[in-house]
Amino acid sequence: MPLQLSKSQEKKLGKLLVRGFTKKQLVVLESISKDKSKSITSAAKKISEERKIPLSTVKLDLKILERLEIIKKIEKQGLKKALMSRFGKLILQIISDYNDTRKNLEYLLSDKLLYLFKQIIKVET
């Protein structure tokens, strides 16, 4: 039976997942989800160079994500590739939804604070 979560439960799970991974692991996870054509080695080097993360850290994070069954390594056309597992796609979607909600809330709050600040200035002048 599929797990049914309310919006509130999804947000709580999203928060938990974001805290459960390091920022670097989330960067690796997001990068793997976007770039399916490269070998594991070239993907790791690209992530390391573009995001200024030590290559050894990227490789370790790839191993951790594989052990957690969030990514899977396959051999295709003589190359070992890292792909998102079905479970990994679900995890990334929950994290993305949580981050999007948080960003929207931060934007709305900053917009509201700016409006209130302008109102205070008008009253004082």
pLDDT in tens, the chain (125 residues): 566 767 777 777 777 676 788 889 989 999 999 887 778 899 999 999 999 999 999 999 999 999 988 899 998 888 889 999 988 888 888 888 877 776 666 666 676 666 666 667 666 55
Domain containing 103 equals 7-124
Domain presence at residue 108: yes
Domain presence at residue 1: no
Domain holding 54: CATH number? Answer: 1.10.10.10
List helix spans (H) across the chain.
7-20, 23-34, 40-51, 55-67, 86-124
- Looking at the 3D structure of the chain, how many domains does it have? 1
11-42 as b/e: b if 16+ CB within 10 A: bebbeeeeeebeebbbbbbebbbeeeebbbee
Domain presence at residue 25: yes
pTM: 0.69
Cα separation, 73 vs 21, in Å, equals 20
Domain presence at residue 17: yes
